[in-house]
Structure 1
Amino acid sequence: MEEIRNTCLFLVQQYTNIQADPIILLPPTNVCLWGCKQKIKSRSGEPGSLSRLYTDHDSSESCTLNDIDGSQKKCWKFSLLCKRCGSRYSYATYSEPTLKGPENISHSKRHFFYDTERAYVAVSNEVFWTRRLCRLLTSDIYWKHSSFQGFAASMAWSYAISEDYNRKQTAEAFFRFHIEAEIRERRLLKTPFSEHNYDLLLPSLNEWNRQSLYPHIHTTECLAKGCRFCTSFDGIWKLTHLTCSFKIITKNPAFGDLNFPSDCPEEPLPGLLFCGRHAGVAAENNLPLTRKELKLLTKTKVNSSSTEVTALSFSSCNKNRGLRKYRIARSRGWLFAVSSAGIIRTFRPLYGSESSSQVFYAMAQYLLLEIGDDEKWTEEERRKFVVAYDDICHVDGLLQARNDLPFSGSGINLWRNVVKIIDRFHIGNHKKQCQSVYNPSKLLDVHGLNCQFNTETCEQVLSKFGKYKQSAFMMGKQRQEFFLNRMVKIHNSIVEQSLAQGREHLHFNGRRRCNNF
């Protein structure tokens, strides 16, 4: 590598007239990682092409390295090419072998991250960010709820930088930094992706996150707050995203006649109102495809109504489910599950409204992941598990809630076994029948008079997450879900640190804090 670095230094100094040592960005290896068993060497070539050692753009052009102190340093990026298999090694990623051979400058679009983390993040072909600048951006978003535009404007104003900081570049830096972090945390370094479009990884990463709960090791401090035995649910309506405007019939045979919203959950194509699967159908039916064709853009509020068939008569409880009709289709938000100690366990998308059918389906899936393991949970422990939700009366009143769940083994009785309550903050808004059946005082009968469970943790946590609207409102579905996933992981790590230090997290010290359930 020293020989290659010296060659790069010579070329940069010769063609740019720079005497001081310039910043050279090279791959971390000069040996092919695909088993070619030979060093990737350079041979003499003309400036700008450099034969086996070449740059993505003319070598006389420099990249920009942005740092946390506002400095913007010039640097030069070089890539190496294996002579035998044609794989390309850039500063941050390397590609798989190309079938066209090294003599053809047509390279594979499938790239991989190196085993070791690089010092800088490639935001684009011409811009790099230091990792501490990416961490500062993440910290500002989490603690100050800054938007990407706000952070870019703050950096530009603070350091009198007229260019190179904008909303698009800041957002790209955030997602590239955290996508790589997620890949490394999950040890998925062999997962291929496009070097110029990291977003292609988001559907897979989001799907993996939905299939499991966020990891958490119980401690004495969190167990005292009921972290293992109490989970509260609530929806957040401020964080919505665009969806396909085509209406579909959604059914899940395993859950019988449970009614789901007719919204297509896919993202619309850029500039269109429909996703790739329904755009052609919409065009055949002469439906408006773009916003310009759809002139009426105002949203109309309608009265919420329940379409689910209920077995118990709790319809008199007037729960606002946030049902709205948009001229341009949007989701209704996200349903969060938060333990009594403040640890977020999972979250699921909501469409149309916060309907009882969607909430029941999400709760059933959560219970299967949380208490469905017979090796970790006994039948007696399951009967002590508490589910708190502000509209649990309508959810538990569904006909499907009277039947067995479509799971194997003891999973069929998960819903019947758990204790279902309305959280302390909303119990006063319900009728006497609901207050009698789902009163939070049931916790005292199950867990004793010294019970310190907080059934309002979801409300308290979502009061913070709602402030991310400035950053997340204009994101697509995949980006918004991944953004929330990274904020959730940061939140959980901070709450765990607070519990370990014997103090409560900031979210639970406000005016809405409750001492007992």
Structure 2
Amino acid sequence: MSKKKKLDVIDFLTDLRHKDSIISTYLTARNPLLSNVANFAKAKTLSVSDKLSLLVAKFSFEEVQRVKDCVVESRVEDPVLLSEGLSADLDLCSALLNILHPIPAQQDSSSCSTSSSSSTNVSNSNIISTLFAPPVSYCIHCDKHLTRHHPITRVKYFTLRGLQWAKKVTLRCRSCKTVYNWNEYGSDATYWQLYEGKRRPSIEANDSVFFSRELFDFQCCLANHSWVSFSGFTESFNDAFDLSKKSGTGLTAKQVSSAFLIGEVENELRDLCQLDMFKLKKRDADIDKVLEAIENQRLLNTYEHPNCHKNCHAKGCGRVFVADGIWKLSFPHCMFKLQNEVCGIPVPSLPNVCTKSPAYGKAFCPEHCALAEKESIPTVLRAFLQYCVEKKVDAVTAVAATSQVPAAPSFIQEGPVSAPSDDVIGVPCAATEVGTPAPDLVVNEDAPDAPVDNETLGRVEDVLVNLPSSTSSVGSVIEAQGVSTFLRQHSSNISSIMAACIEEKPSSCKKDTGCKKRLQKWARGHLFIVRAGGHIEFWRSLYKSESPSQVFLILLSWLDVHLKSIPATEWSNLAVVYDNMCHLDNMIVARSPLPLPAPWSHMWYDLKKCVDRLHIRNHTDAHCKVKYHPKDHLEDTDNTMICEQTFVWLSRYKKIVCAMPKHRHLFYIHRMVKRRNKYTAKCYEQGDDPILPVVKSVNTT
């Protein structure tokens, strides 16, 4: 065993004196530096770590960390603004800006009305660690220094850790009057646009509520994978963090909805490289105009699938496209009749309806409300339906008076409406001349599939047919379905194509096309085209019913885009799967090449066409089972059930999107489809199969 070394007292004392000397020298050098923070922050002889250490020695680690995080996140360059927003020491803010920013911060006290040079101690419950400010200090247009537009306000900041309190500041250029908010800049006189570069780390839901980007993404993922509604997410969040809406600290469904809309609109605009929002947004209410412009862009394109994984391709992706209609997702539209025309040429065989959203509580869109009011026809939904009943009752009463036979009463029940009211409203009609009470018009808002008798429907249709016609094509079915571009390219052949959209000898197979009788006009759902691997390729809205002529024209408009990148010699390798293919392909126009220039005349004729494996068993026509059986056209590994599987996922949004007006309904589905496609591609890249629900029955529409 080795002997312990004896302590050398002289060496120990010498070393101790040396260390004391070093500490004394450090303290002597530190004190003048701490007395003037701005000097050492600019000193080139000190490293960043040394500078931060000196700041910690004077202001504490927690305070330095709080201000540092805010500087990094908000990118504020004005120390006075930063100091006032965080109630922090001005010297600390100036020092951190000099340390963290390569360009020295501009200390112009004129940018703020007041300044604070001393640190303000606040209680832990009111500590502000986040300042929401524009990412610029100088005007993007005229390069003038920005000044404060409003006093600094206190806002709620919802994150994955719950509720935090933050400060918000808005800047303004006094020269060109441009206002700079957290995520956008502009003015009501011009238009608003997004900042270039990366997305801001938080989303401004409204003037007093912000969402962290992580919380926003989490909410979108819950909606995409778990079908969590805005109200469901609200209740879950408040319950998890013990927040209360009554106390003013809780989250509300309206705030979640607003954050989703603003965040997803920004994501979509950046994907489209339209940071100027199509120059349409001048005020907050113009967001619906932006949604309409986004929808117009969607109608011109398909969902790209550039990198197909081998596992995705093995299921038939790129070769097999499955089409089907989902009826559970619908929205109300204007009740006005609107003819379909392209270049002055009528387009028959399509629903003659206006697809615009009705004004709030009205039967018609704003444009057609004006036309109806000129004819002294009420436009409020219940008043209009009451008008239709009373007009018919008057006509029946006149006939009864001449024939001495009393008019028979009847009962009217209606499906969904969008007018603001309680659950069930009874509207009394006028009494007949012989004293028999006229029927009550009962409008049940909570019964989207409530039956409507033919007599009631006829009364409404009689009034609609006699309304003055509208010459505008905006809002027509061909515009709403995105087929107008295809029809304009082949306007000389429209008449021959649409006239042949009939079956000369109808197939004996019975297929329900979903022609639901309703008083208020609702879309019939959407037609989806899904690749066999699970990628959603294309979708369009359906009106009145899933008629073969409507489906055929939608498929042609999709093929017109999709086949441009595929040689005509390879068209015969593609297969279109549709559950009503026997009626669709049996139309006169589909049994021979189209009256179009080559090779587009064979864009439908050359394709393989069949029925999916789930629905072929329900077809009764023997010829159908021979000609359109999937075993004769597809490989055994091709997934023809993909559309039904997708609809099991998609149909669960019914309670969410059916309460939305048209453009918000379409935008919500569009963003969910994009996220679903991204998830599908991610699963294949990671070697996993996307989770698809099991189809337990054919009743998925």
Residue 54 of structure 1: aligned partner? 149
Partner of 1:38: 144
Residue 5 (structure 1) aligned with residue 5 (structure 2) = no
Change (3 A) 1:338 1:213: same
Residue 125 of structure 1, CA deviation:
0.8
Task: Say if 2:571 is the partner of 1:382.
Answer: yes
C-alpha distance in structure 1 between counterparts of 2:627 and 2:295, whole Å: 37
Unaligned runs of 5+ in 2: 1-76, 88-113, 386-426, 428-440, 445-449, 455-498
Structure 2 counterpart of 1:429: 618
Question: Which residue does 1:313 correspond to in 2?
Answer: 505
Match of 2:353 in 1: 263
Distance, in Å, in 2 between the alignment partners of 1:119 and 1:405 is 52
User: Which structure has the higher relative contact order (CA within 8 Å, separation 6+)?
Assistant: 1
Give the Å deviation of 1:415: 0.8
Aligned equivalents of 1:253, 1:245: Cα separation in 2: 24
| Deviation by residue 1:168-194 (Cα, 9 ceiling, x = unmatched) | 221111111110011112221133324
Q: What is the match of residue 184 of structure 1?
A: 270
Distance in structure 2 (CA, Å) of the matches to 1:174 and 1:390: 35
Q: For residues 360 and 116 of structure 2, what CA distance do their matches in structure 1 show?
A: 44
Structure 1 position 439 matched with structure 2 position 529: no
One-letter code aligned to 1:261: P
Q: Which stretches of structure 1, 4 residues or more, deviate above 6 A after TM superposition? A: 253-256
- The separation in 1 between residues aligned to 2:342 and 2:510, in whole angstroms, is 27
CA offsets per residue over residues 15-70 of structure 1, 9 Å max, x none?
xx873455321100112111x23332xxxxxxxxxxx3122xx54x4211111222
What are the ranges of 5 or more consecutive residues in structure 1 without an aligned counterpart?
41-51, 97-106, 445-449
Equivalent residue, structure 2, for 1:171: 257
Report the Cα offset of residue 412 of structure 1.
Answer: 2.3
Measured in 2, the distance between the counterparts of 1:188 and 1:345 equals: 23
The aligned runs of 1:106-505 (5 Å cut-off) are 107-108=188-189, 110-115=191-196, 116-163=198-245, 164-191=250-277, 192=279, 193-194=281-282, 196-197=284-285, 198-217=287-306, 218-251=308-341, 258-293=348-383, 294=385, 295=427, 296=441, 297=443, 299-300=450-451, 310-371=502-563, 373=564, 376-402=565-591, 404-405=593-594, 408-430=597-619, 431-444=621-634, 451-505=636-690
Q: What's the offset of the Cα at 1:8?
A: 4.3
Quote the Cα distance in structure 1 between the aligned partners of 2:532 and 2:552: 20
Aligned residue identity for 1:128: F
The 8 Å contact of residues 457 and 508 in structure 1, kept in 2 or not, is answered as no
TM-score, scaled relative to structure 2: 0.64
Q: Does 1:82 align with 2:177?
A: no
Matched-pair contact (CA < 8 Å) for 2:609–2:633: no
User: Residues 173, 428 of structure 1: CA spacing in aligned structure 2 closer, same or farther, 3 A cutoff?
Assistant: same
- Measure how far apart 1:506 and its partner are: 1.4
Q: Answer yes or no: is the 8 Å Cα contact 1:31–1:38 preserved in 2.
A: yes
8 Å contact kept, 1:427–1:439: yes
CA, structure 1 residues 159+215, in 2 after alignment: closer, same or farther (shift >3 Å)? same
> 2-side partners of 1:407 and 1:114: how far apart?
46
Q: 3-state SS of the aligned residue for 2:366?
A: coil
The DSSP-based 3-state class of the residue aligned with 2:162 is: coil
- 2:401 is aligned to none
Contact 1:258 1:357 in 2 (8 A): no
Cα shift readout 1:383-434 (whole Å, capped 9, x = no counterpart): 1110000001111122333465475542222011111111111111111111
Does the CA-based 8 Å contact 2:501-2:588 persist in structure 1?
Answer: yes
In 2, Cα distance between equivalents of 1:93 and 1:408:
48
Shift of 1:77: 1.5
In the TM superposition, what is the alpha-carbon distance from 1:461 to its structure 2 partner?
A: 0.5
Quote how far apart the aligned CAs of 1:118 are: 1.2
1:287 to 1:317, Cα distance in 2 relative to 1, 3 A: farther
C-alpha distance in 2 between matches for 1:497 and 1:213 = 19
CA distance in 2, matches of 1:75, 1:65: 6
Partner of residue 107, structure 2: none
Distance 1:18 1:114, change over 3 A: farther
* Kept after mapping to 2: 8 A contact 1:194/1:200: no
1:432 & 1:252 partners in 2: Cα distance?
Answer: 39
Specify the alignment match of 2:101 in structure 1.
none
Give aligned-pair identity as a percent. Answer: 27
TM-score (norm 1): 0.85
CA distance in 1, matches of 2:232, 2:682: 29
Deviation for aligned residue 1:340? 0.8
Which residue number in structure 1 is paired with residue 36 of structure 2?
Answer: none
* CA distance in structure 2 between the aligned counterparts of 1:343 and 1:352, rounded to whole angstroms: 27
Instruction: Decide whether the 8 Å contact of 1:443 with 1:451 is kept in 2.
Output: no
Between structure 1 and structure 2, the one with the greater Rg is 2
Q: 2:381 is paired with a residue of what secondary structure? A: coil
- Is the 2:336–2:354 Cα contact (8 Å) retained in structure 1? yes
Alignment of 1:29 with 2:105, yes or no, is no
Conserved 8 A contact 2:128-2:165: no
**Which one has the bigger helix percentage?**
2
Q: Report if the CA contact (8 A) 2:644-2:695 is conserved.
A: no
Deviation digits for residues 200-231 of structure 1, max 9, x if unmatched? Answer: 21111111112111011223222222111110
Q: Is the 8 A contact 2:138 2:145 kept in 1?
A: yes
CA distance in 1, matches of 2:162, 2:85: 27
- Please give the secondary structure, in 2, of the residue aligned with 1:244: coil
Deviation, structure 1 residue 156: 2.0
CA contact (8 A) 2:334 2:356 kept: yes
Change (3 A) 1:251 1:440: farther
Give me the whole-angstrom Cα distance separating, in 1, the residues matched to 2:548 and 2:513: 9
Deviates more, 1:219-228 or 1:486-495: 219-228
Taking a change above 3 Å as real, the CA distance of residues 257 and 278 of structure 1, as seen in their structure-2 partners, is closer
Question: Do the aligned residues in 2 keep the contact of 1:53 with 1:79 (CA within 8 Å)?
Answer: yes
Q: Is the 8 A contact 1:213 1:346 kept in 2?
A: yes
**Letter aligned with residue 539 of structure 2:** F
The Cα offsets for residues 326-347 of structure 1, whole Å up to 9 and x where unpaired, read as 1221111111000111110010
